[in-house]
Amino acid sequence: MESIVFDNITKVYGGHPVTRGVAVERLSLAVPKGEVFGFLGPNGAGKSTSIKVLLNLIFPTSGQAFLLGRSVVDPSVRQRVGYLPENPNWYDYLTPEELLWYGGRTAGMSRFRIKERTSALLDLVDLPSVRRRRLRTFSKGMLQRAGVAFALVNDPEVIVLDEPMSGLDPLGRKLMADIIRRLKEEGKTVFFSSHILHDVEDLCDRVGIIAKGRLRLVARLADLLAVPSRGWIMSVKDAPEVLRSRLTEFEPAYSPRGTFTEIRIPEKDLGKVMDRLGSFQSEVVSVKPWRPTLEEIVLREIQQTDGNVG
């Protein structure tokens, strides 16, 4: 069963030819039950507009969207969906307990069930000690975690997260990633947008790349990254300038990484470069295949769109 379906969605803002803008154009996409799907693209690409259409917060100019086999205009389907917006604007005089009470009652939950879920969720997002503090006293990261609890209060089957890692420190990002993994283990469908591609690589089954309102690519992440190696990336500690002068014949590419230098070399030259490094007693920290990263793939799709659009 498909949990999420975009069926040829187009969203146009403004009726006048001068102000008219196409935010999303002919978007068709299906996400099956139990999948973690990453929705990627630059600012203004159409990610948030697509999410708002999916949640029936705005209406498409044409096309339809479906959640759990029902049209998104069906009010009953919303009780089975959780949503965290990119910039949540909570009533800041509420406490986390009151926020979840509000969300639970809106979803039609019983008082007992709300109390049960509140305790479990505040533990999950590491906020039990501040359950009665006003949200106005929270940091951005704490507000984001409270928002995740709010999105999960009704134990939804589909969770939609718009930039869930925004404003989180490394510990907060790890916590969020662990929550997404747990949701997947429970058979939930998670659809999220993010600019933090390392997290996407760690979490997603599939990704979609959107640019200028057009869906450019949809693929399994494992397939997308499992391309033939273009060579090798060697991480060398404190590579001296004289070493660089001795490697020019191999046409390497260098990238500084703190006290290390990454050297990209063609496949055929690995043995020769290793011998050259050994003669300079350079410390080789790691050697790994040189394949396109997710960031490079996303940038390629964006640049191709820029080249194809007026």
Q: Which of 234, 146, 161, 221 is nearest to 192 (CA)?
A: 161
**Rounded-to-integer distance, Cα 181 and Cα 190, Å:** 10
pLDDT value at residue 20: 73
Could you tell me the two tokens for 262?
């990454």
- Lowest-pLDDT range, 116-120, 148-152, 167-171, 210-214? 167-171
Mind listing the domains of the chain with CATH numbers?
Answer: 2-225 (3.40.50.300), 231-289 (3.30.70.1150)
Average per-residue pLDDT for the chain: 87
> What would you report as the CA-atom Rg of the chain, rounded to the nearest whole angstrom?
23
Mean pLDDT for 72-81 is: 92
**Rounded-to-integer distance, Cα 134 and Cα 95, Å:** 5
pLDDT value at residue 18: 53
pLDDT value at residue 304: 83
User: Does the pLDDT at position 271 exceed 90?
Assistant: no
- Lowest-pLDDT range, 101-115, 127-141, 246-260? 246-260
Please, which pLDDT band fits residue 234 given cuts at 50, 70 and 90? confident
* Between 148 and 226, residue with greater pLDDT: 148
DSSP string, 211-235: ETTEEEEEEEHHHHH-----EEEEE
pLDDT value at residue 136: 95
Between the CA of residue 212 and those of 22, 42, 194, 197, what are the distances in Å?
Answer: 8, 9, 16, 19
**Rounded-to-integer distance, Cα 4 and Cα 208, Å:** 13
**Rounded-to-integer distance, Cα 199 and Cα 202, Å:** 5
Q: What are phi and psi of 109, to 5 degrees?
A: -80, 155
Cα–chain center distance at 175: 14
Please, which pLDDT band fits residue 111 given cuts at 50, 70 and 90? very high
**Rounded-to-integer distance, Cα 310 and Cα 307, Å:** 8
- Render pLDDT for 1-50 as a digit per residue (tens, 0 to 9): 799 999 999 999 876 555 578 999 999 999 999 999 999 999 889 999 99
Q: Is 287 exposed, middle or buried (0-12, 13-18, 19+ CB in 10 A)?
A: middle
pLDDT value at residue 198: 85
**Rounded-to-integer distance, Cα 221 and Cα 206, Å:** 5
Please, which pLDDT band fits residue 283 given cuts at 50, 70 and 90? confident
Centre a 10 Å sphere on the Cβ of residue 274 and count the other Cβ atoms it contains: 16
Could you tell me the two tokens for 265?
């070399």
Please, which pLDDT band fits residue 240 given cuts at 50, 70 and 90? low
User: Does the pLDDT at position 230 exceed 60?
Assistant: yes
- Render pLDDT for 85-104 as a digit per residue (tens, 0 to 9): 988 888 999 999 999 999 99
Percent of the chain with pLDDT strictly greater than 90 = 57
C-beta of residue 153 within 8 angstroms of C-beta of residue 117: yes
**Rounded-to-integer distance, Cα 9 and Cα 49, Å:** 11
Amino acid identity at 107: A
Mean pLDDT for 237-260 is: 65
* Between 75 and 255, residue with greater pLDDT: 75
Q: What are phi and psi of 24, to 5 degrees?
A: -140, 135
- Render pLDDT for 148-201 as a digit per residue (tens, 0 to 9): 999 999 999 999 999 998 878 888 899 999 999 999 999 999 999 988 888 898
pTM of the entire predicted model: 0.83
